[in-house]
Chain A
Amino acid sequence: MKAIIHIGLKPGVLDPQGRTIARSLAHMGFEGVTKARQGKTIELDISFDDATTAKLEVEKMCKQLLANTVIEDYQIEIVE
């Protein structure tokens, strides 16, 4: 079982790295990109009885360490 956690800055929190990525894509000639937001993915190999328990545990991990909820949002995906 795996947990895939996507962590990104909350809407409204300035993301200078995302802005620079969008600008760079435009400089390279890619059209049609209006905005970029940068985040990260954390993949955990996990072993729990079921997906519900896994999600609850990973949720705790996100709140206590993996994400800084002052500035970041997270999404958890459990893959069996």
Chain B
Amino acid sequence: MQSAVIVFPASNCDRDAATALEKVTGRKPLMVWHAETTLPKVDFVVIPGGFSYGDYLRSGAIAARSPIVRDIIKKAENGLPVAGFCNGFQILTEAGLLPGALMRNKGLRFICRPQKLHITNGDTMFTRAYKNTSEVTYPIAHFDGNYYADDDTLKELRKSGRIVFKYIDNPNGSLNDIAGICNAAGNVLGMMPHPERAVDPLHGGTDGIDLFKSILEAVR
């Protein structure tokens, strides 16, 4: 599987994502700069965490309008698997690939800690390898992780199984405890927690590995 990691000014989890992808897939991902207009031919794209463009205007707002994201939108709509972690999730909602918005944490504090999550849909291309567990711990590190969507959108997400991860003990005020969702076609995932930062015992846990294994199995 050939993957790519998009790099924006002030991305800071791009190398974590690259390390996790190389560890699981055995191939170095391509690092693609945000000013590129065309994505190389790849099987999977990660939009990494960080503070792209300094979180100016709104988290993810400027990155979502960058040249490379225009091409990602086109390819994601044609089925290319894409995952956005943390700032990547904010970018995906700002780009309109995922519904809703990420607002300031309810407690008005930046939260950085290991976070327990329920896998609420184990039958997605991002979660199928989690065979014997529905509870995982990934780190979270965000100021704007408070998921908001209107009632109709929330209802639709619940009904169609598109809520993929939920917080256990909601840290940020997200509606319905939402930590991660996917699009209707199931090929775009956005989540605030960081699976790419839970792939090595030195990270404090390896619960993130199976997420990347799931994708590897799905695109093989």
Contact A70 to B61, CB < 8 A, known contacts A16-B104, A20-B108: no
Chain B residues proximal to chain A, CB less than 8 Å = 57-58, 61, 65, 93-94, 99-101, 103-108, 148-150, 173
Q: How many residues of A contact B (CB 8 A)?
A: 11
B175's nearest neighbour on chain A, judged by CB, is A14
Contacts of A26 in B (CB 8 A): none
Most buried by B among A16, A66, A68: A68
CB–CB B108/A70 < 8 A:
no
Q: Does any Cβ of B come within 8 Å of A17's Cβ?
A: yes
A14 touches B173 (CB 8 A): yes
Residues of B within 8 A of A33 (CB): none
In the assembled complex, the CB of B183 is this many whole angstroms from the nearest CB of chain A, namely 15
What are 18 A-B pairs at a CB distance below 8 A? A14-B106, A14-B148, A14-B173, A16-B104, A16-B105, A16-B107, A16-B108, A17-B104, A65-B57, A65-B61, A65-B65, A66-B57, A68-B94, A70-B93, A70-B99, A70-B100, A70-B148, A71-B148
Main secondary structure of the interface of A (DSSP, over half): helix
* Chain A residues in 8 Å Cβ range of B57: 65-66
Among the listed A17, A64, A71, which residue makes an inter-chain contact with B108, where contact means beta carbons less than 8 Å apart? A17
CA distance A16 to B149 in the complex (A): 16
Q: Which residues of A contact B99 (CB under 8 A)?
A: 70
Q: Could you say which residues of chain A place their CB within 8 Å of the CB of B173?
A: 14, 16
Closest chain B residue to A70, Cβ basis: B101
Could you tell me the distance between the alpha carbons of A13 and B101 in the complex, rounded to whole angstroms?
11
> What residue of chain B has the Cβ atom nearest to residue A9's Cβ?
B103
List residues of chain B with CB within 8 A of the CB of A68.
58, 61, 94, 101
A68–B149 Cα distance when bound, in Å, is 12
Closest residue to A69 on the B side, CB-wise? B101
